[in-house]
A and B are shown apart, each in its own frame.
Chain A
Amino acid sequence: DGGITQSPKYLFRKEGQNVTLSCEQNLNHDAMYWYRQDPGQGLRLIYYSQIVNDFQKGDIAEGYSVSREKKESFPLTVTSAQKNPTAFYLCASSITWGAGTEAFFGQGTRLTVV
């Protein structure tokens, strides 16, 4: 089945630790995205990648880092510099970055700082 796989589903992090969230897609999509979801705030864009080996900051990139070494993979690292990392993280992809293309989402990773 084609789709987007995020792992793990639940992740617990101690303060001061970096953690990496995995996102893999087998849809052959060029563009990939990371969103953060907080209660009552909708989804906010963290980073996006239009093509392999390229990525750009979104609206709330501080404290996060990404890489796009392979078309199908777009991992997100939440660094210790992110002051409030507890949230629900969603990865998405679309055929291209173009405005008319819809994004397809993974099932998300819920990160909790303990």
Chain B
Amino acid sequence: AQKVTQAQTEISVVEKEDVTLDCVYETRDTTYYLFWYKQPPSGELVFLIRRNSFDEQNEISGRYSWNFQKSTSSFNFTITASQVVDSAVYFCALKEDPGTASKLTFGTGTRLQVTL
């Protein structure tokens, strides 16, 4: 069965610090997709990135970067030079691809608090 673990429940940093959010996943499939979502205080989940299991190339988007390592089943998310607006709950999620319907499994989330 698929499983996503976000061991960090809460992280507090001071603005401009770099912060890494950890995500470890379990799956028996060779084809799967990994996602990161941001949930600001408003409640809506905002899609950040999708990565498929055959693409281990790291990705950078502005201050955000993602490190995908199949060898350790991890898909970590780094925010460089954090800002107060980054304060939110961040979810990592996994979707297997068995060829038919597949469901999105979420981790329990990491609450990031960025202070001045």
Contacts and interface: CB of A to CB of B under 8 A. Distances in A.
A75 interface: no
Interface residues of A, number: 27
Given A105-B44, A105-B45, A107-B44, A42 B97 contact: no
A69 B2 CA distance: 31
Given A56-B101, A103-B47, A108-B44, A42 B33 contact: no
B96 A99 contact: yes
B42 interface: yes
Contact of A100 (B4, B50, B91, B108): B50
A104 B43 CA distance: 13
Interface range, B side: 20 to 34
Interface of B: 4, 9, 31-33, 35, 37, 42-47, 50, 52, 91, 95-97, 101-104, 106-109
A99 B32 contact: yes
A99 B47 contact: no
